[in-house]
Amino acid sequence: MTDAVGSIDTPDAQDEVPEKKARKGGKRAKKGPLKRLATFYRQIIAELRKVVWPSRNQLTSYTTVVIFFVAIMIALVTVIDYGLNHAAKYVFG
């Protein structure tokens, strides 16, 4: 019997897929642990070269903003703690 595609008895050419032999470890199986470690560190250095580092002025201003923000948060938490401490002493006094 035949249809528009071809014979039912014979498979189409696209249905025949040769089976590939599975590799045991992929690309890593060929390299030793020291070579893989060296490759890892080379990739780290390559990525660090892509980073846009801040200038000295930017770094100074960012640091100043962070220190100022932390000081404000410390003051805020201290005031809240002091207030809650006195409120607890008043209630349970």
pLDDT in tens, the chain (93 residues): 555 665 566 556 565 656 666 666 555 557 888 999 999 999 999 999 999 999 999 999 999 999 999 999 999 999 999 999 999 999 998
* pLDDT at residue number 52: 93
Check residue 8 and give its pLDDT: 62
3-state secondary structure of 57: helix
pTM of the model: 0.49
CA atoms within 13 A on the CB side of 59: 5
Q: Looking at residue 31, what is its pLDDT?
A: 80
